[in-house]
Amino acid sequence: MPQRTSLLFGVHAHQPVGNFPEVLMDAHLRCYKPFLQVLYRYPDFHFAVHFSGWLLDYLIEHYPEDMALLREMVQRGQVELFGAGDTEPVLAVIPNRDRIGQIEAFSNKLAAKLGQRPQGAWLTERVWESTVVPALADCGIRYVIVDDYHFLCAGRAHAELNGYFTTEEDSRKLDLFPISENLRYKIPFSPVDETIAYLESLADSTASNSHTAAIYFDDIEKFGIWPETYQWVYEKGWLEQFIQAVLASTKISPQHYSAYHATEKTRGIVYLPTVSYIEMNEWTLPAPSANTYADLVQQAKSSGWYEHKKAFLRGGIWKNFFSRYPESNWMHKRMLGLSSRLAKLPEKQRSHAMQQKLYESQANDAYWHGLFGGLYLPHLRRAVYRALVELEALLDQCAPRSATLIEDTDLDGVEEVYQHNGILQAIIKLDSFASICELDAYQLNHNFGDTLRCQVEHYYQKMQLGAHSPPSHETTGIASAHDRISYKHQIAAEDTEADDHPRSLFVDRLDGEFIVYQHESPTVENNSFRSDHTLFPIRKNISLEQNRLHVDYHFSDQMKQIFTTEINLAMPSCDGMGGRYVYQGKIPGGFGQLLELNHLTEIILDDDTLGGSVVLRTSSPVTLRAYPHYSVSQSESGFEKIMQAVTLQVECPTPAQGLNITLEINAR
């Protein structure tokens, strides 16, 4: 009897909370639906699947027939369901109480909707920290999957990584399966015969006293959504041919993780370092460090030793995204603060809605950036802030806050002052700019300060090298998204220039130079600042009145200079059809267009996606220059320019009577 390899085949399906309906529809038509339909025809092909909680809810609501196929495959024993946090958080960066709550919520959902409670769990972005072990174990999770790279970083050899291992933390035990990098890059990109030959070679090389597992668990989006994959996987039949070849092989046996785990013994104790998948090492680093890391990797590959020693040439860790991107760090620390407030409420005051909003704010996608991360995507950050603002309003109803609060929320050494009146909230960064870093409208559940400054990215170097086409490949398969370089938009040099200031609200200049402010006194009514670098000091006061934000400037009578303030507003329609300026009853343009108006005292920014408007008023006539603020992102589809905010530049000679600028925020 020939030795057989246990093929532990799993796929992970996820869409971010708040993703566009058309994206979800396309993903279903090109990936989820055809994948399930093909697998349904082969009951003997056992596999594992993880649908993230929000996506599962969406698919059950909108595509019940396809989810009925999945439910039937679970019932007939073909599918093993994998758990996780319900909204796909990175478990290592949320409080332990929320880890437990998220895992339990999703396990209960799987049991109720698909009829199976999971034994295994998917770790978001395969981010491993040993601190997650107790929560997983306490929730009944017996094993998780991580990359074989994680094990190599712990000093294990490739030849050992054909079964599962055991780790422990705080007296809790958890088993770990190493995902094969070779399989991640072969499936589904290499031809079927090459992939099958590789799997069968594992059986041929196995000692008679051991049972080899070929471990695969990766994004289902590789089966239809990544470039060229729909034609390759379905129209040319890769998936069906692969399943048929596996079932016909005398050396490969498709098996559930649970079955393998129940019949095989652990390969021993292991302690993994804090790490994610190998590509993330580069993405987490600031551009100069990422360039250095990439150069070292290329040198190692050129010298021929990279594959054997790559575990010892390591970049950053996932949490680096918080120190690298101030906007990500700010969201994360705001989330932690509200989680703490919710935990302190008496249990009888906590509601399911509060818990759900907290969990939505913990969804991982908007907190990081790489080939797939969504920090650069305004609609994903907006979903996080929508949940945070809604949760904050609910908490304020139960446990009202002081109207003014000062703290260093984001732990950067600079305090922020919170000012709110139940309708609006302005959070002012007490640095030299004295600008507003967050402006919340509770009726609209929106943060108008939710934008992203431009900073130099490692992938700018790829654009500067002028690489436009995918590299050549040794096989007759197709290229992985990791190997492609393409462009969705034309990128100019000025598009990649880094900002020299925060993209916040009311960043002030005098004759083109930034005004440096000192904080004077926070009160319930206003916050006062005084410039310290001019011959004639400027006073700036920020206050709230109902649905209006007032920013007052007081100038000396003797000043004869040009004053400019920059207001960056996150308008949800961005450069789409739903956002427009309204001036003197007419529409001079949309948010994606350049606009210059003289002698202006009022203009409306109307936004269909927001379901509301912002009215800008000035006490004296000003010149308004408005333009879209873009950043350059990368995705599996190529480099692209993404509109982050509307930038309004208000300019006038310093008026002796002072200048009042009001933002009035209205819901329709």
Task: Say if residue 369's pLDDT is above 90.
Answer: yes
607-665 tens-digit pLDDT: 999 999 999 999 999 999 999 999 999 876 678 899 999 999 999 999 888 999 999 99
Average pLDDT over residues 196-220: 84
Task: Say if residue 3's pLDDT is above 90.
Answer: no
Q: CA 81, 86, 91, 93: dihedral to nearest 10 degrees?
A: 160
Closest CA to 48 of 211, 261, 234, 240: 261
> Rounded to an integer, what is the distance from CA 448 to the centroid of its chain?
19
**Residue 296 included in any domain:** no
**Residue 408 included in any domain:** no
CA distances from 391 to 63, 340, 352, 382, 450 (A): 30, 12, 11, 14, 17
Place of tokens 């933390």: 169
Secondary structure tally for the chain: helices H, strands E: 20, 27
Which pLDDT belongs to residue 469? 44
The amino acid sitting at 175 is D
Neighbouring-strand partners of residue 628: 646
The amino acid sitting at 302 is S
Task: Say if residue 126's pLDDT is above 50.
Answer: yes
Which pLDDT belongs to residue 22? 94
Of residues 316 and 481, more confidently modeled = 316
Place of tokens 């035990």: 173
Strand 548-554 versus strand 539-545 pairing type: antiparallel
Contact 192, 164 (CB under 8 A): no
Residues with a known catalytic role = 125, 219
What SS3 state is found at 59?
helix
238-242, 301-305, 332-336, 556-560: the lowest-pLDDT one: 556-560
Q: How far apart are CA 387 and CA 373, in angstroms?
A: 19
User: Two tokens at 184?
Assistant: 């991640």
Average pLDDT over residues 436-444: 98
- pLDDT-derived band at 533 (thresholds 50, 70, 90) equals low
Strand 79-83 versus strand 47-51 pairing type: parallel
What SS3 state is found at 44?
coil
203-217, 414-428, 599-613: the lowest-pLDDT one: 203-217
Which pLDDT belongs to residue 560? 85
The secondary structure of 403-431, three-state, reads CEEEECCCCCCCCEEEEECCCEEEEEECC
The secondary structure of 461-512, three-state, reads HHHHCCCCCCCCCCCCCCCCHHHCCCECCCCCHHHHCCCCCCCCEEEEEECC
**Residue 636 included in any domain:** yes
**Residue 339 included in any domain:** no
Which pLDDT belongs to residue 526? 66
- pLDDT-derived band at 470 (thresholds 50, 70, 90) equals very low
Strand 172-179 versus strand 165-169 pairing type: antiparallel
User: Two tokens at 267?
Assistant: 């390969």
**Residue 355 included in any domain:** no
> Rounded to an integer, what is the distance from CA 118 to the centroid of its chain?
25
Q: Considering its fold, how many domains does the chain have in total?
A: 2
Which pLDDT belongs to residue 488? 56
Q: How far apart are CA 276 and CA 133, in angstroms?
A: 15
73-87, 134-148, 310-324, 449-463: the lowest-pLDDT one: 449-463
Q: How far apart are CA 94 and CA 361, in angstroms?
A: 11
What is the secondary structure of 97-154 as a DSSP string?
HHHHHHHHHHHHHHHHHHS---SEEEPGGG-B-GGGHHHHHHTT--EEEEEHHHHHHT
- pLDDT-derived band at 523 (thresholds 50, 70, 90) equals low
User: Two tokens at 102?
Assistant: 């998220």
Question: Which CATH number fits the domain that encloses residue 62?
Answer: 3.20.110.20
**Residue 330 included in any domain:** no
Strand 416-420 versus strand 5-13 pairing type: unpaired
Counting residues of the chain whose pLDDT is more than 70, the rounded percentage is 93
**Residue 244 included in any domain:** yes
Q: What is the pTM of this model?
A: 0.93
What is the secondary structure of 435-447 as a DSSP string?
-EEEEEETTTTEE
Q: Find the largest Cα–Cα distance for the chain.
A: 98
Question: Which CATH number fits the domain that encloses residue 496?
Answer: 2.70.98.10
Q: Of 225, 259, 276, which residue is a domain's last?
A: 276
Average pLDDT over residues 56-80: 97
Structural domain range at position 13? 5-276
Place of tokens 């995902």: 179
Per this entry, what is the length of the chain?
668
End-to-end CA distance of the chain, in Å?
73
595-621 tens-digit pLDDT: 999 999 999 999 999 999 999 999 999
User: Two tokens at 471?
Assistant: 């590299």
Closest CA to 639 of 472, 498, 464: 464
- pLDDT-derived band at 203 (thresholds 50, 70, 90) equals confident
> Rounded to an integer, what is the distance from CA 84 to the centroid of its chain?
16
Which pLDDT belongs to residue 525? 59
Q: How far apart are CA 289 and CA 35, in angstroms?
A: 40
Q: Of 276, 301, 325, which residue is a domain's last?
A: 276
The amino acid sitting at 610 is L
- pLDDT-derived band at 500 (thresholds 50, 70, 90) equals very high
162-173 tens-digit pLDDT: 999 999 999 999
- pLDDT-derived band at 462 (thresholds 50, 70, 90) equals confident
Q: Of 249, 276, 303, which residue is a domain's last?
A: 276
**Residue 109 included in any domain:** yes
- pLDDT-derived band at 278 (thresholds 50, 70, 90) equals confident
- pLDDT-derived band at 495 (thresholds 50, 70, 90) equals confident
Q: How many CB atoms lie within 10 A of CB 290?
A: 22
Task: Say if residue 418's pLDDT is above 50.
Answer: yes
CA distances from 588 to 248, 504, 650 (A): 66, 25, 17
User: Two tokens at 659?
Assistant: 């200048």
Average pLDDT over residues 528-544: 88
Counting residues of the chain whose pLDDT is more than 90, the rounded percentage is 84
Task: Say if residue 46's pLDDT is above 50.
Answer: yes
Whole-number average pLDDT of the chain = 93
- pLDDT-derived band at 234 (thresholds 50, 70, 90) equals very high
Closest CA to 322 of 333, 313, 312, 314: 333
